Structure 1
Amino acid sequence: MYKIVIDSCGELPEDLKKDGHYQNVSLELEVDGCYIRDDETFDQKDFLRRVKESVTGPKSACPSPDEYMKSYEGDADHVYVVTLSGKLSGSYNSAELGKNLFEEEHPGEKKIYVFNSRSASVGETLIGMKVQECEEAGMSFEEVVAATEKYISSMNTFFVLETLETLRKNGRLTNLKAFIANTLNIKPVMGSTEEGSICQLGQARGMNKALDKMIQDVIAKTKNCENRVLAISHCNCPERAKAVKEKIEKMAKFKKIIVTDTAGVSTMYANDGGVIIAV
């Protein structure tokens, strides 16, 4: 038996929630003293309202090693853990510490491996799906780990934000840059580096042009599209995500395209109207 543990930045579509092999470990969000669990109780619209009204902006806290330890319990003898990029969160280190503590208390009981996604959001989801594909194909634990690490190295994550306010409030963007971008309606096209950091890939005037630029980057950087699954996560903008999916389908044929709404942590970073693509 196997289990796939994903921190709550990784969205689980309904079919994966019902699958039985997946489990989320929740991060915690905080907005002006209000603490919110990123689990099934998360209210996206209420959270977005709080973020918009906040002067200081939202923050997040990663799961504790103890929370990860509890997620490793159960009948599964193979446990695979997928976390937010280690460059963006302490979730990876917390999961690793939880693994070490679990193995000290339960030596030899099960095999556990923690994947640093070097991504976020639906990038984590795709990694979980890759693990499941390998397990269902009958691979050994070591073969699953090797194949999935190779897959992670081939992945790319892209996103476009409607507003830069959260980045400004968090101090990740200067007030001047945010002011200029908002005034000129400039939308940066962002992406992940090989190490799992965030970089700017380009920019465009207006959301539609920025989304088109992102789609072009996706197609240009993805090899063997027909053999890859592409995932789109959107923050409160299903029609925008649908339009992005349709444009991609006209330009390339992917093995599968999945679309889902952002969970709590991804909502915090994407903000209202943001779109994320992982492939």
Structure 2
Amino acid sequence: MTYRLIGDSCTDLDENLKKDENIKIVPLTLEIGDYQVIDDEKFDQKDFIKRMAESKIGPKSACPSPDAFKEALECDTDMAFIVTLSEHLSGSYQSAEIGKKLYEEEYEKKDILVLSSRSASAGQYRLMLELDKLCKEGLSFEEISKRMIKLRDEMKTYFVLESLDTLRKNGRLSAVSAFIASALNIKPVMGAVDGVIVKKDQQRGMQKALVKMVELAISEAGENTSEKIVCITHINNEERGESVAKLFRDSNKFKDVKVVNGAGVATLYAGDGGIVLAIG
């Protein structure tokens, strides 16, 4: 069966997936005050990080329009799968659902699954990897959908940020809390439960926080991990991403460990040096 895989631009991809003609990314728009940029293949990560650091205004993102998702579905395939940011973090999922309805109203119906990742970044990457694999194996739409929902529901997501400045600028963290965390070099270890961000631990110093994140991720991955894949997104810090990957590889518990640099949306929210990972 022919297929198309669609992700919003928080779906971080490796180089092989970026070259796959069956995959299409629908970009979000990133904003810092009056400055706007489309999160597509022309996104300049280093320039955007510099602009974020220099701005007193918190960066924001605007989700794609329903028409953008509808256009992505306008292809001659038997089935299509859309992976979006968690509906608790963005309107991207709702926009994709409306885009699907718009497509079905205008064209002959085909099988379409809109899947909230209940995650972001590395979690979306993990889901896209699995979709690519299952579609290439030639499984039916129903079987792929069943497996993907199961993977999504069982997948675990974690992240550690170098700086809480973006959260402070966006009003999601008080200035006092951000100052105390910065002054004491406290790094929260965060996770996601059903797509909602939760604090799982905290450590003093980035390296200790990353080690704790890996320890938590391994302990919560369960006993049957031999077929699970670890996906890691780093933000402009390949060395840090690879050091986290090494901790997972040294555990000899997982089928594979993959590392990618984040695109624009991940850069906006995770910030320079941030690490996001997903296991499933």
User: TM-score scaled to structure 1, two decimals?
Assistant: 0.97
- The equivalent residue for 2:212 is 213
Contact 1:219 1:252 in 2 (8 A): no
Q: Deviations over 1:203-229 (max 9, x none)?
A: 000000000000001101113221011
**Matched residue SS, 1:265:** helix
User: How far apart, CA to CA, are the structure 2 residues paired with 1:276 and 1:252?
Assistant: 20
User: How far apart, CA to CA, are the structure 2 residues paired with 1:270 and 1:176?
Assistant: 20
- The equivalent residue for 2:141 is 141
Seq. identity, %: 48
Q: Deviations over 1:106-153 (max 9, x none)?
A: 132x21110010000021111112122222233211111111000101
- Within 5 Å, give how 1:172-211 maps onto structure 2: 172-193=172-193, 195-211=194-210
User: How far apart, CA to CA, are the structure 2 residues paired with 1:178 and 1:189?
Assistant: 15
Q: Deviations over 1:5-49 (max 9, x none)?
A: 010001111100112221100000001211010001100010001
User: How far apart, CA to CA, are the structure 1 residues paired with 2:113 and 2:248?
Assistant: 34
**Matched residue SS, 1:267:** helix
Contact 1:234 1:262 in 2 (8 A): yes
User: How far apart, CA to CA, are the structure 2 residues paired with 1:192 and 1:21?
Assistant: 29
- The equivalent residue for 2:59 is 58
User: How far apart, CA to CA, are the structure 1 residues paired with 2:256 and 2:76?
Assistant: 31
Aligned length: 277
User: How far apart, CA to CA, are the structure 1 residues paired with 2:34 and 2:216?
Assistant: 39
| Structure 1 spans left out of the alignment, 5+ residues | none
Contact 1:9 1:84 in 2 (8 A): yes
Q: Which amino acid aligns with 2:155?
A: M
- The equivalent residue for 2:20 is 19
Contact 1:225 1:252 in 2 (8 A): no
**Matched residue SS, 1:225:** coil
- Within 5 Å, give how 1:63-142 maps onto structure 2: 63-108=64-109, 110-142=110-142
Task: Identify the range of structure 1 (244-253 vs 36-45) with the bigger mean alpha-carbon deviation.
Answer: 244-253
List, as ranges, runs of 4+ consecutive aligned residues in structure 1 with deviation greater than 4 Å: none
Q: Deviations over 1:242-277 (max 9, x none)?
A: 111111111233111111001000000110110111
User: How far apart, CA to CA, are the structure 2 residues paired with 1:15 and 1:95?
Assistant: 25
User: How far apart, CA to CA, are the structure 2 residues paired with 1:196 and 1:252?
Assistant: 28
Q: Deviations over 1:137-184 (max 9, x none)?
A: 332111111110001011011000000000000011111110110000
User: How far apart, CA to CA, are the structure 2 residues paired with 1:272 and 1:128?
Assistant: 24
Q: Which amino acid aligns with 1:7?
A: D
User: How far apart, CA to CA, are the structure 2 residues paired with 1:151 and 1:247?
Assistant: 23
Contact 2:248 2:257 in 1 (8 A): no
